[in-house]
Amino acid sequence: MFGDSLSAAYGIQASQGWAALLQQRLQREGYPHVVVNASVSGETSAGGLARLPAALGQHKPAIVLLELGANDGLRALPVKAMRGNLERMLQLSRDAGARPVLFEMRIPANYGAAYGDSFRGAFTELARNAHAPLVPFFLAAIALDPGNFQDDGLHPSAAAQPKLLDAVWPTLKPLLAKPK
């Protein structure tokens, strides 16, 4: 898993984050997969791209979950650069024999419709062009309730983490080897 603070369990115990909950679900349901969470709080797509080759070589994953781009958007970095970074990450994952899964990210409306539409559209376009599964915006189920977030209003609370996993599971499950 390559992500930012949303996947790194920022502000909560790592064991409460959706990545840890994913590992628990996999074990409970008999799947042989091991979750390696290489997420870093504050990570941009450029940072992820810089770190990905070493991680692919070290862990030799079957599936790579790419949950990046939110920090690019929050910093109003050029969408074209983010798209290029993510496209390269999708290709590097494939070249390493892994199945990449891209997460759709969105940014707050105050960034403007033009930037927001371009930002969101980049994920759909990338997934389509790369024939990669796309996890629909996984904060959608919690985004409108401030009670689902920590005091900073950006990072999901521990109580909201199962909902994040539930948002990812329908896209991920069909890609997994059959459980034991």
- Annotated catalytic residues are 5, 152, 155
Complete edge-to-edge strand list for the sheet that includes strand 63-67 = 2-3, 63-67, 99-103, 134-135
CB 114 within 8 A of CB 133: no
Q: Which residues pair with 108 in a beta bridge?
A: none
Identify which of 57, 48, 67, 77 has the alpha carbon closest to the alpha carbon of residue 127.
67
Handedness of CA 103, 104, 109, 115 (dihedral sign): positive
Identify which of 151, 83, 74 has the alpha carbon closest to the alpha carbon of residue 116.
74
